[in-house]
Amino acid sequence: MNRFFEILPGFLSWLTLFLVVFLSWQKPVWIAFFIILFDIYWLCKSLFLTFHLRATFQEMKKNLKIPWRERIGIFSGWNSVYHLIILPMADEPLSVVEETFESLKKTNYPKENFIVVLATEERAGENAEKIVRAILARFHADFPYFLVTKHPANLSGEIPGKGSNESYAAEEARKKIIDRLKIPYENIIVSVFDIDTQVYSEYFGCLTYNFFTAEFPQHSSYQPIPLFTNNIYQAPALARVIAFSATFWQMMQQSRPERLTTFSSHAMPFKALTEIGYWQKDIVSEDSRIFWQCYLHYHGDWRVVPLFYPVSMDANAAPTFWKTMVNLYKQQRRWAWGVENIPYLLSGFSKAKLIPLRQKLYWAFNSVEGFHSWATNSLLIFALGWLPLFIGKNGFDETVLSYNLPAITRAIMLFASIGIASSAILSVILLPPKPEGIRFRHYFLYLFQWAFLPVTLIVFGVIPALEAQTRLMIGGKFRLGFWVTPKIRGKI
């Protein structure tokens, strides 16, 4: 059964593309009407998601102005809540790690309520050891509970990556700090951050407030908005578009909490984490899998609370343009490998008798449809929509419909560009303070870069998603391992 579910996403995506090509040849009139209806659907969906994007942006702006540290003072037990902060590190440069710790140091929150774990990898070698020594020398005195862990290499049953490292780090923190201090597990919130994640001053106050006000605090994850802006001025135009596209998708999801799952840097209760046995150690997409682990373990009694509050992370950038393009593709392919969660959750649903059928159908459809759309929609909209004009049989190219098809699709796409324009404007608003050398005229280029969106959606969206689904469908040696996105600082 699990193997069938591994084949399903890729099979559906390839079947869709095959049928569009085949029917464009054999039944061009059918496909022409399908294209028009699909473009109208995409237009309505774009406008709908743009509404959610604007709503989230307004909520985030409001939350950034709130003194959350003061606000949580209304809760009598707020200072008994500890934050376990896990920072998995591979071979990232010292400057990246330093900036992350500097942001932690500047947070408006008592540091005696932090348990900070710098989770290193044994396989990272001597360079990682040097970085650890430098971080300890500079920041150890700022955090009363500071632990460095070294995840052993080549452990049986593990894929080297974040999930296995985080699990090892959490267990070490439990044994060496949490149990020694006799901190109740239900009083601990775990924040797992990519090593480039920089938190805003009031982040932990906002997280604590949401923990106290959540309807089910011990059965909820807490998701901030990832802004990929730490090095945004250093990234090429395509990298900036992809970075903001990822941010905007997460912002849209914040306004649809019923569909929200965990992504990248997020938080959850430590008690639940120990009860499910930490992150799985043999997968790549641990950030989203942890949601499904909890959802299945607690028989559907799990949800994600949107924080409407940001953390900032790195855009994907490398020393050269072409290296950046390669890294962008690999990163998108790794994110698309989240499709490995579909067989996990569908197989889990087949055994979960206590989860209502309606919930199973809801999540099954949304998960499969989401990855199917990722691998097909942009290709259908921007590329395959013209096929009936070129390969259609039975004189389709001489019909009135064939003559009007380009005009109709262009008109629909013109209306849909409202969403792209909104994204372009919002991307400029979200830019961090400009560094030296950035002039006002550069912002026009940052608006114009969104003209590349159709290219990025296909080259860095459809293609890596199709590859990931195909690899899962074939299985065996074609399965993906964890790929660490390189981090850089300095002028590119």
pLDDT digits (tens, 9 = 90+) for 454-471: 888 899 999 999 999 999
Tell me the average pLDDT across 393-407: 73
Average pLDDT over residues 242-271: 94
Domain locations in the chain as residue ranges: 81-319
Residue-level pLDDT at 492? 46
Please report which confidence band the pLDDT of residue 443 belongs to, taking 50, 70 and 90 as the band edges.
low
Angstrom distances, CA of residue 419 to CA of 6, 243, 368, 380, 454: 34, 17, 25, 18, 13
Mean pLDDT, residues 293-308: 97
Decide which of 222 and 387 is more confident.
222
Model pLDDT for residues 80-120, shown as the tens digit of each residue: 999 999 999 988 899 999 999 999 999 999 999 999 999 99
Tokens describing residue 39? 């473009």
- Residue 399 DSSP symbol: S
Q: What is the per-residue pLDDT for 47? A: 83
From the candidate CATH numbers 3.90.550.10, 3.40.50.300, 3.30.470.20, 2.60.40.1930, the one assigned to the domain spanning 81-319: 3.90.550.10
Q: Quote the CA–CA distance of 94 and 76 in Å, as a whole number.
A: 39
Most confident listed range (31-45, 336-350, 408-422, 425-439): 336-350
Residue 160 — very low, low, confident or very high, per pLDDT cuts 50/70/90?
Answer: confident
Which residue type does 248 have? F
pLDDT (average), residues 404-416? 74
Name the pTM for this structure. 0.92
How large is the average pLDDT for residues 128-137? 94
DSSP string, 104-130: HHTSSS-GGGEEEEEEEEGGG-HHHHH
Say whether pLDDT at 322 is over 60. Answer: yes
pLDDT at 389: 78
